[in-house]
Each structure stands twice: as C-alpha cells, then as structure tokens.
C-alpha cells in the first residue's frame, strides 16, 4: 500500500466505509461558513479567480521595476517582491558582510531612494503588493507607505502583505535578527500600527512554505505554521489587542506539491483547524477572524536543473492542487528557477500557466469541486488528526517559541528531509530526469545572470545619500528609535521618521540591534 507525503496510508479504493460516522453537515458546512472546510468565501472563483502574483526581484531597483512593468503588462494581478539577502538580514549593500550577495536572490533596497525607484510608474492605490521580508518587515512596509504618500495615495488605500513571520526563520530559513521575545514585540507593534495607519494591509503571512522547502511533510508544514500562528495571536492579545481587532488581517503562506490529492486535503484541513483554534481557543467572534486566508507558491524544491522544461508540467500540477484547495492568491515558479533567476520568457510562461487554469478549464465554474469525494474527505480527516497531534506536542513543550528553543520543529523537519533524500537516492521516490528517464547529455541553457557591477553601484548610491542628507536629523531620529525600543512605545513611529530622514535599512536595524541584541541559535553554542 502506498503512503502519502505525511506517512499516512493511501487506500487503493475509497468508499462510504472510509467515512463511517462522518457527518457532512458538521464537518463541511457551506462554502464561506464556519468551519470553512469548503473555502473562505461563498462564491470562491465563480465570482472572480484568485489573485495571480509573480514573485520577482533581482539586481537593482531599476531592473526589478522593469520586470514589474513587464508582469503587469502580461496580466499579473499583484506584485510580489523578492529582496536580496543583505536586505533580508538588515544590512546595507556597503556593509562588508553583504559583499558578493548584493542583488543576487532579490532586489537590493538600502533606503527610501531605492524604494522610490522600485515602484516608479506603479500606482500604489491600484496594485496589491506582497513583500517577502521578515525581520526587517516593519522597515520595508514603512518605506512603501512613504512612497505611497509621495504619490499622493492615502495609507488607507494601500493593500498588500508583509510576510513578517520570524518564528519560521528560527525553524527553517535563518534570516532572523533579534531574539524571539523582541521579534514578537516588533510584530505586535506592526499589528497596532496597521490597525490605525494602514487598515487594509495584511500584517503577517504566517508561512509554512519555507518549512516545506526544508523537508517538512504536509502535516508538519500545517502543524508548525498554525502553532506559530497561535504564538502570534497570544503575543498580540498580551500586548493589549482584542483578537477581533487584528485577526481579520492575518494571512498564511503554503506550498503546493505535485501530490495533488494530499495537497487539496491539506488546505481543507488547515482551514478547519484554524477556524476551531480561533473560535474555541481565542474566542474570536468575527467570522473574518476565523478564516484561514492563504497565498500559495508552487514547490521550488521539487524543480530540477535536469531537463528543466519538465518543470512546466510539475508547476501546472502544483498550481492545480492550490486552486482545487481554495487558495486566495498564487505564485507559479518559472521552469528555470532550479538553474538561476527566471528569464522574462520563463516568468511569462509561469503566469500563463495560471491564466490557462483560470480561463480555459472548468475548475472555476464550481466551488470546492472535490467536496464529498470519499478519498479527499478521508484524507482530510486523517491529515487533520495528524496535524492536531503535532500542534499538541508543540503546546506541551510550552508553545512555538519554547519548542523552537528546544529545537523540536527543526529536528522533526530534518528527519523528514533525510528520509526524502534516502528515498530519492535509492530510487524508491521517482524524480523524472534525475533518477529515472534521464538524458545522457543535457541541452544547453543560457541562464539570467546578475551583473556583479551592481554592488559597486549600490555602494556609490549609499555614499552619495549619506553625503547629501541631513545627518544630524538622521541621528536624532535613530536616537528616538532606540529610546522607544528600550521602553514600551510603538517603535514604528520613530522608525518612520528615521526612514523619511533617509536613514538606511542597515542603520535602522543596527539601532534596534544596539538595544535588543541578536539571536544565537542553540545548536551554535
């Protein structure tokens, strides 16, 4: 008998006996109604399709801006910004630690001047922007707000998402800066700030995607993500917020793998569990607080450098799993991403994949087409039980932060990753083009390469910025930020003043490092 990615048995045939005692009225409800198993909106895609995003950013703000305009012309419905590693870690491009990484895996943003260029010619009241940024999320959001204000766009009209999920960085990805306690304080400050200043903004995208890329099973991906969500909700409530004041702006970010049936069941189980958590554990009364709204990205870890065109098929299957699972927005990976940054043609083909699903198939004609399927409903129930078991283990350890400090989630994911690697090496798990159906010689491919000269360009821009700005005003603003960080005032207000005075991303992050310190993972002691 075959097993699922989460290690659960997949029956050769499913029938009514698989759902013995199953009450569809209690388990399912209607689309748009608690517990939202069938989708968070009553009409889902019959009204309009999901938001089609393409994750993009590389080199300088000029180059990334050009790509954004190309994507908008190709029909994308929302932008999704990739930042380079120094920006993600809160360092400027001229910091010695940034050498060799400027603009490599995303766009380099050092100051308001770069943010201005990044969104040149893009009306921020007409586009929804997602920013994949975590430890410095507050800074990038404030820079976006400042650019919007320069365009004459009221902050009340800005829409989009910051990832802002630092707990998963401790578990699976590593772009953290501050210790967990201070990171949670910063996230709570963002919740409070956006409630007043940017009310339509999604203040966090609680992410399982990176855990899945690190090797997490579907059950682990959902369990550890929702456990992090519980921790964020607790922190916000402890900071004085009412659950229904901030919970409607929470969002999630998951992967879609090629194992289509389990992925559909995973998304349905996740909605049901989160609805119960919010209603029963936290007493949320607003239905929007109980909804698990999520963005999906197709599984980059499943793409191969060998026979890269085969990735087009993988991405199409993964995207279909996300759509059948009820995602609210979707990014489809380009077929060449296992080799290098995607070319313009590859990015356009990835977007076309979504457009074919939305406009040439019938999957948008009905809500939750798999509802009532013996296989899907049974797999949803089994996954739900496995996810609850892992959530309970995290809670028994004292919650997500305590479990992180004990290394629980990281260890569990590493075990799963090792098992997958063994299965691929032995041939038990088939990867087309890698361990089966291989070619003697790969066809040549010319990847997109980032010009190494951009680092020097960014360094020059920073030198000019520091020479021309009012440095006394910058220091006063940074001192005000340090005082707020030492006390209990919301740090986003002095942070905005510093950024408006042309303080750099690195300078603002360093001001907080001075007060809060940096996180050192337990396994590096």
Axis-axis angle for helices 505-516, 180-197 (nearest 10): 130
**Which whole number is the average pLDDT over 151-170?**
96
Give the tens place of pLDDT for each residue, 108-118: 999 999 999 99
| Rg (alpha carbons) of the chain, rounded to whole number | 23
List the alpha helices (DSSP H) in 429-491. Answer: 454-468, 471-486
Average per-residue pLDDT for the chain: 93
Give the tens place of pLDDT for each residue, 90-132: 999 999 999 999 998 899 999 999 999 999 999 999 999 999 9
Q: How confident is the model at residue 53 (pLDDT cuts 50, 70, 90)?
A: confident
The pLDDT score that the predictor gives to residue 118 is 96
List the alpha helices (DSSP H) in 109-242. Answer: 112-118, 137-151, 167-168, 180-197, 209-213, 218-238
How far is residue 182 CA from its own chain's centroid? 21
Give the residue, 80 or 387, on which the prediction is more confident. 387
- DSSP label at 408? H
Distance CA 453, CA 470 (A): 28
**Which whole number is the average pLDDT over 332-355?**
92
The pLDDT score that the predictor gives to residue 524 is 40
Distance CA 113, CA 143 (A): 9
Residue ranges matching CATH 3.20.20.240 in the chain: 40-426
How buried is 84 (Cβ within 10 angstroms: 0-12 exposed, 13-18 middle, 19+ buried)?
buried
- At residue 75, does pLDDT exceed 90? no
Give the tens place of pLDDT for each residue, 441-457: 888 877 777 778 889 99
Give the residue, 174 or 16, on which the prediction is more confident. 174
Length of the chain: 525
Q: How confident is the model at residue 525 (pLDDT cuts 50, 70, 90)?
A: very low
The pLDDT score that the predictor gives to residue 340 is 84
Q: How confident is the model at residue 25 (pLDDT cuts 50, 70, 90)?
A: low
Give the tens place of pLDDT for each residue, 423-440: 999 999 999 999 999 998
List the alpha helices (DSSP H) in 128-172. Answer: 137-151, 167-168
- Collapsed DSSP state (helix, strand, coil) of residue 448: strand
Cβ atoms of 79 and 51 closer than 8 Å: no
Q: How confident is the model at residue 477 (pLDDT cuts 50, 70, 90)?
A: very high
Q: For the chain, percent helix, then strand, then coil, each to nearest 5? A: 55, 10, 35
295, 300, 400, 406, 483 from 209: Cα distances, Å: 10, 10, 17, 22, 36
97, 215, 267, 304, 427 from 435: Cα distances, Å: 38, 19, 30, 11, 6
Asked if omega into 35 is within 30° of 0 (cis), the reply is: yes
Distance CA 312, CA 336 (A): 9
Distance CA 227, CA 274 (A): 10
Give the tens place of pLDDT for each residue, 370-424: 998 999 999 999 999 999 999 999 999 999 999 999 999 999 999 999 999 999 9
H/E stretch holding 202 reads strand 201-202
Distance CA 185, CA 516 (A): 11
Architecture of the domain spanning 40-426: Alpha-Beta Barrel (3.20)
Cβ atoms of 241 and 184 closer than 8 Å: no
List the alpha helices (DSSP H) in 487-524. Answer: 492-500, 505-516
**Which whole number is the average pLDDT over 282-292?**
98
Distance CA 136, CA 177 (A): 8
- At residue 248, does pLDDT exceed 90? yes
**pLDDT > 70: percent of the chain:** 98
Distance CA 401, CA 287 (A): 27
**pLDDT > 90: percent of the chain:** 84
């Amino acid at each position: 008998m075959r097993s699922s990615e989460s290690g659960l048995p997949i029956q050769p045939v499913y029938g009514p006996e698989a759902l013995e005692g199953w009450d569809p009225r209690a388990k399912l409800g209607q689309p748009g109604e608690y517990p939202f198993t069938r989708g968070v909106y009553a009409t889902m895609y019959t009204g309009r399709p999901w938001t089609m995003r393409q994750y993009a950013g590389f080199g300088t703000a000029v180059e990334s801006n050009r790509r954004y305009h190309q994507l908008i012309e190709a029909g994308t419905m929302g932008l999704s910004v990739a930042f380079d590693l120094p920006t993600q870690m809160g360092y400027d491009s001229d910091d010695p630690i940034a050498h060799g990484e400027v603009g490599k895996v995303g766009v380099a943003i050092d100051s308001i001047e770069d943010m201005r260029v990044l969104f040149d010619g893009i009306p921020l009241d007409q586009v929804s922007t997602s920013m994949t940024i975590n430890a410095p999320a507050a800074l990038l959001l404030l820079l976006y707000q400042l650019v919007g204000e320069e365009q004459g766009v009221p902050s009340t009209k800005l829409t989009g998402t910051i990832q802002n999920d630092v707990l998963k960085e401790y578990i699976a990805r590593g772009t953290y800066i501050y210790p967990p306690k201070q990171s949670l304080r910063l996230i709570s400050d963002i919740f409070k700030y956006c409630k007043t200043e940017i009310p339509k903004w999604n203040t966090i995208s609680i992410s399982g995607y990176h855990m899945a890329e690190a090797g997490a099973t579907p059950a682990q991906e959902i369990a550890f993500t929702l456990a992090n969500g519980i921790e964020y909700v607790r922190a916000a409530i402890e900071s004085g917020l009412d659950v229904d004041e901030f919970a409607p702006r929470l969002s999630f970010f998951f992967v879609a793998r090629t194992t289509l049936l389990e992925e559909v069941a995973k998304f349905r189980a996740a909605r049901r569990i989160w609805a119960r958590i919010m209603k029963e554990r936290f007493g949320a009364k607003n239905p929007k607080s109980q909804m698990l709204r999520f963005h999906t990205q197709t599984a980059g870890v499943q793409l191969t450098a060998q026979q890269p065109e085969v990735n087009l098929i993988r991405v199409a299957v993964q995207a279909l799993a996300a759509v059948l699972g009820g995602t609210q927005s979707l990014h489809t990976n380009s077929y060449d991403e296992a080799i290098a940054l995607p070319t313009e043609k590859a990015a356009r083909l990835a977007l076309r994949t979504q457009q074919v699903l939305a406009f040439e198939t019938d999957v948008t004609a009905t809500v939750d087409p798999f509802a009532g399927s013996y296989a899907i409903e049974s797999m949803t129930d089994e996954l739900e039980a496995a996810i609850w078991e892992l959530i309970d283990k995290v809670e028994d350890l004292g919650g997500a932060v305590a479990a992180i400090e004990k290394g629980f989630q990281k260890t569990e994911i590493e075990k799963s990753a090792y098992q997958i690697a063994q299965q691929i090496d032995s041939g038990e798990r088939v990867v087309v083009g890698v361990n089966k159906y291989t070619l003697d010689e790969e066809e040549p491919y010319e990847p997109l390469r980032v010009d190494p000269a951009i680092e020097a360009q960014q360094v020059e821009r920073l030198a000019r910025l520091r020479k021309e700005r009012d440095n006394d005003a910058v220091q006063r603003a940074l001192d005000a930020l340090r005082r707020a960080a030492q006390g209990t005032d919301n740090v986003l207000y002095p942070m905005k003043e510093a950024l408006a005075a042309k303080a750099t991303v690195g300078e603002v992050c360093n001001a907080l490092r001075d007060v809060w310190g940096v996180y050192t993972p337990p396994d590096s002691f």
